Amino acid sequence: MPAAPQASPELRRRTLESSAKFIVALGVIIVLPSLSLTYWQGWLYWALFAAFTIGGSLYFLKYDPALVERRLAVGPTAETEKSQKIIMSAASVCVVLLFALPGLDHLFGWSHVPAWLVIAADIAVMLSYGLVCYVLSVNSYAAATITTGADQPVISTGPYAYVRHPMYSGALLMFGLTPLALGSYWSLLIVIPLAAVFAWRLLDEERVLKRDLPGYAAYCDKVRYRLVPGVW
């Protein structure tokens, strides 16, 4: 990918500050419930996720600062659609539970996930993270909120030629494997409501895009599947 216009110092500062806050918060949510420094599954996951987060931030700051700017506004308060505020609030609760419950699982010894499965899940989670980054490299307009730009095109190449929401596909796979990577079977139960929230979000997103993005309805007619080719 050719170098884009250089990111401003202010954008760099905001991006790295946001990434640092996220990494610290993630570490606290994952490790604190375990009340243990020997919760190696949590520390390993956190270290890998932190490395990928920093690497991804630096990469897109160099090659697509406009995308970084679009993705800095995130969460329920950043959404303009009332429905998305509700959806993102529900998603936030599910994600926090997904990361926090494994620590409690470790504390009370509910699950006994073998080390090889934890490592395999970590690898799969990072590959899924890579898929999300690949989607972002294809679609510079992939904001963290449901919004459209005046000159925004409909992206139909790369993974978008197969499913309408490839970033959600990667993210759902990543979150779905996170419980095993964190050494917990019980937190797999959180994946069920989280997947339902994902489906709710993308269906509402399609409603907004069909309304506000010219050509999106025709794209939906062409690409039938939303998340998994041949399934849905």
Confidence band of 38 (pLDDT split at 50, 70, 90): very high
Q: Are 216 and 210 in contact (CB under 8 A)?
A: yes
Per-residue model confidence (pLDDT) at position 77: 79
Per-residue model confidence (pLDDT) at position 5: 75
User: Residue 185 is encoded by which pair of tokens?
Assistant: 């079977």
Q: Are 4 and 63 in contact (CB under 8 A)?
A: yes
Confidence band of 101 (pLDDT split at 50, 70, 90): very high
Tell me, what amino acid is at 149?
Answer: G
Residue whose tokens read 């939906």: 220
Confidence band of 4 (pLDDT split at 50, 70, 90): low
Examine the pLDDT at 1 and tell me if it is beyond 70: no
Examine the pLDDT at 33 and tell me if it is beyond 90: yes
For 59-82, how does the pLDDT look when each residue is reduced to its tens digit (9 = 90+)? Answer: 999 999 988 888 887 778 777 788
Please compute the mean of the pLDDT values over residues 159-188 and round it to a whole number: 96
The DSSP secondary structure of 114-168, one letter per residue, reads -HHHHHHHHHHHHHHHHHHHHHHHH-TT--SSS---TTPPPP-SGGGGT-S-HHH
Please compute the mean of the pLDDT values over residues 5-34 and round it to a whole number: 93
For 124-160, how does the pLDDT look when each residue is reduced to its tens digit (9 = 90+)? Answer: 999 999 999 999 999 988 877 777 777 889 999 999 9
What domains are there in the chain, each with its CATH number?
A: 9-222 (1.20.120.1630)
Q: For residue 112, what is the enclosing H or E element?
A: none
Examine the pLDDT at 3 and tell me if it is beyond 80: no
Arithmetic mean of pLDDT over the chain: 92
CA distances from 152 to 5, 71, 78, 119, 212 (A): 19, 15, 19, 40, 10
Say what the pTM is.
0.92
Per-residue model confidence (pLDDT) at position 126: 96
Residue whose tokens read 């599910």: 94
